[in-house]
């Protein structure tokens, strides 16, 4: 799936999922509290907590919100690859104390430590659990609802509007970059390292120029529509149900209990 298609699918999912009409306060409170607990479990080495949160958030996203499974998997593609690469490096080259195994090389002895592997596994599980919390929020809550929620908690307006514009145009410029790269390949570019370096520099320069031009066009278009320094939207969304908030608090308390019960539990 291309970057522009991914943006369209994410935006469509945020507006059309089965939880789109639910209160964004409830969804945001659940996602952020779960994210906080998932990160806290990493420092406590309670590896079972990220697994529980990943299963619950994935079940809510796919089972309750009815988000398309292929979109959910596409969201995980690049982050998972980077996480696996990073955690592999941590497992193989970091750690102290008790060795898990040693490999005798001609010039040195390569030691893989037990706590290095445990650290890598805990980080992998924590990041995957945290991503599931964020993806639940992103795929079930529109950027409009999030911006209205941020206004209600008195986040500066300029930060909210910058966030909206960045969210809107980051995918656009990724698609422009992809189009320009494809055009270079069709012209038989990249035959040598020197040509690749030159083409990357040209791509960066052209993309910077395109960014300035698009920013100017956007500003002119907003002024033509009566822009006065504020981006307005209908400030109406469902109020959170007290029972749902109480259920989320109870769930968080249970997760905290699990963290204390599995404190310093290692995978290895």
Please state the domain extents for the chain. Answer: 1-141+238-268, 143-237
Q: What is the pLDDT of residue 190?
A: 60
The pair of three-digit structure tokens given for residue 70, joined into one six-digit string: 């292929």
The pair of three-digit structure tokens given for residue 80, joined into one six-digit string: 């998972």
Dihedral over alpha carbons 260, 262, 264, 267 (to 10 degrees): -160
Q: Which residue has the tokens 């145009």?
A: 169
Whose CA is closest to 212, among 159, 176, 164, 161? Answer: 176
Q: Which residue has the tokens 């789109």?
A: 20
SS3 110: strand
Interatomic CA distance for residues 84 and 107, integer angstroms = 28
Interatomic CA distance for residues 266 and 262, integer angstroms = 9
Q: Tell how far CA 99 is from the center of its chain.
A: 34
The residues, ordered by sequence, that sit 6+ positions from 55 with a Cβ below 8 Å of its Cβ are none
Whose CA is closest to 53, among 267, 254, 261, 265? Answer: 254
Where do the DSSP E strands lie in the chain? 99-104, 109-113
Q: What is the pLDDT of residue 34?
A: 92
For residue 5, CA distances in Å to 2, 12, 117, 208 come to 5, 10, 37, 22
Whose CA is closest to 17, among 30, 27, 5? Answer: 27
Q: What is the pLDDT of residue 233?
A: 65
The residues, ordered by sequence, that sit 6+ positions from 220 with a Cβ below 8 Å of its Cβ are none
Per-residue pLDDT of the chain (268 residues; tens, 9 = 90+): 555 567 778 888 888 888 888 888 899 999 999 999 988 887 767 788 899 999 999 999 999 999 999 989 988 888 899 999 999 998 888 877 777 777 777 777 777 888 888 888 888 999 999 999 999 999 998 888 888 888 888 888 888 878 877 877 777 777 777 777 777 777 766 666 777 777 777 777 877 887 778 778 877 887 887 777 676 666 666 778 889 999 999 999 999 888 888 776 655 5
């Amino acid at each position: 799936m291309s970057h522009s298609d991914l943006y369209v699918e994410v935006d469509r999912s945020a507006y059309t999922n089965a939880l789109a009409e639910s209160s964004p306060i409830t969804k945001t409170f659940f996602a952020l509290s779960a994210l906080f607990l998932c990160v806290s479990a990493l420092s406590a080495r309670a590896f079972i907590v990220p697994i529980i949160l990943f299963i619950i958030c994935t079940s809510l996203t796919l089972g309750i919100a009815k988000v398309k499974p292929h979109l959910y998997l596409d969201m995980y593609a690049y982050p998972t690859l980077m996480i696996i690469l990073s955690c592999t490096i941590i497992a193989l080259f970091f750690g102290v104390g008790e060795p898990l195994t040693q490999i005798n090389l001609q010039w040195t002895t390569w030691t893989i430590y037990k706590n290095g592997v445990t650290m890598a596994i805990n980080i992998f599980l924590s990041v995957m659990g945290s991503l599931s919390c964020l993806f639940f929020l992103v795929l079930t809550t529109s950027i409009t609802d999030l911006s209205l929620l941020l206004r209600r908690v008195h986040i500066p307006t300029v930060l909210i509007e910058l966030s909206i514009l960045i969210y809107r145009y980051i995918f656009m410029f990724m698609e422009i970059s992809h189009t320009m790269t494809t055009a270079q390949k069709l012209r038989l570019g990249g035959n040598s390292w020197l040509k690749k370096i030159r083409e990357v520099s040209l791509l960066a320069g052209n993309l910077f120029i395109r960014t300035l031009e698009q920013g100017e066009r956007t500003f002119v278009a907003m002024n033509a529509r009566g822009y006065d320094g504020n981006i307005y939207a209908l400030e109406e969304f469902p109020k959170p149900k007290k029972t749902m908030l109480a259920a989320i608090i109870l769930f968080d308390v249970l997760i905290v209990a699990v963290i204390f019960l599995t404190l310093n539990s290692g995978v290895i």
